[in-house]
Amino acid sequence: MAFYDVKQLMKTYAPVLALFLVLTTAGTSCSSNPASKAPPLGQSYFAFDPSQVDQLEISRSLPGETAWSVRLKRNPSSGWVIESYPGPILDRTAHLTFIDHLISTFKTLMPVENLSDQRLESFGLNPPRVKLKWRGSVPSASGEVLFGNPKNSGQWLGQLEPTAPAQVLSGALIRMIETLADPAGLREPKILTRELDQFDQIETWEKSDRKVTLERVGTDWERVAGKKNIPSPTAKELLEKISHFRILAFVDDEALQQRVNHAAKSATIREFRFSGRGNQKVLIQFFEFEKRVFGRSDNRSADWYETYPEVMDAWLGLGK
């Protein structure tokens, strides 16, 4: 029976064992993805109802860009609002149309090519360049998608789940991501966040005096003065312009917000008052201050924003 010197064996083979452990650890660490079945090619991966999604987080960190992350939440009464944002923010009204459309394109996402190499770092997936994470009212409306490096126009390397193999992904969602380089794109740019066809009456006011009342007549609008209806062929065109007016700049600086608010107390405030079905009402106020036009809308937050001077021209164009 042979006897072995344990100390001598450890001394002889310890370097070999250490090298083996280093190699196996490096080969199975973060450089590759845990084994998982690849989703089938050419098939949409997500099929949930977009209206069931009530939380969304978007993170983006591409070379040459400033990394950012935004978290959004659906408010049952007012739609999407911004919960967290990379920097100061006062008006948290989110871009409702863009976000709803973004979520609706999740169903277009599909893998079009499998990758034999699963070194995630080389694909820009560890960490990911773009991450979308969402939660819904039902488990099927929750998920997380990771995107790495773009492959070509409309195709990015990515993972349909954090544990799924890396694949080449395609779909309309890719186009949406490619255009979303700035988190400001998630903020609602329109002064009036509702559609014009939701309203039946619009009034213009100056201080406490009502100037003009317009009422919907079919698909047209008529300017009403007392009991006499005065046709206004330009009213429809002007109102369409008003409904698409955009914010020139958000006032996220609290010091400037206070200055504007103080100036508004003694300024000539002009207003649009919208009313419609279901007791819908929206008040938009604006005034000139330091050669700029500032406005606020009660369908957003109560904070002031800078808008285009054309809103003043439209108010005057409806008549006094």
Q: Report pLDDT digits (tens) over 50-99.
A: 999 999 999 999 999 999 999 999 988 778 999 999 999 999 999 999 99
Residue 35 C-alpha from the chain's centroid: 33
- Judge whether 260 and 249 are in contact, CB under 8 Å: no
Q: List 71's β-bridge partners, or say none.
A: 57, 84
pLDDT digits (tens, 9 = 90+) for 210-242: 888 888 888 788 877 544 454 555 677 888 888
Residue given tokens 């090298």 in the structure block: 19
Tokens matching residue 99 = 């976000």
What is the share, in percent, of the chain residues with pLDDT greater than 70? 85
pLDDT value at position 36? 67
Q: What is the pTM for the complete model shown? A: 0.80
- Judge whether 285 and 269 are in contact, CB under 8 Å: yes
Q: Is the pLDDT of residue 186 over 60?
A: yes
The bridge status of strand 130-136 relative to strand 110-114 is unpaired
| Mean pLDDT across 263-279 | 91
Query: Does 251 or 18 have the greater pLDDT score?
Result: 251
| Out of 166-180, 182-196, 219-233, 269-283, least confident range | 219-233
pLDDT class of 138 with cuts at 50, 70, 90 = confident
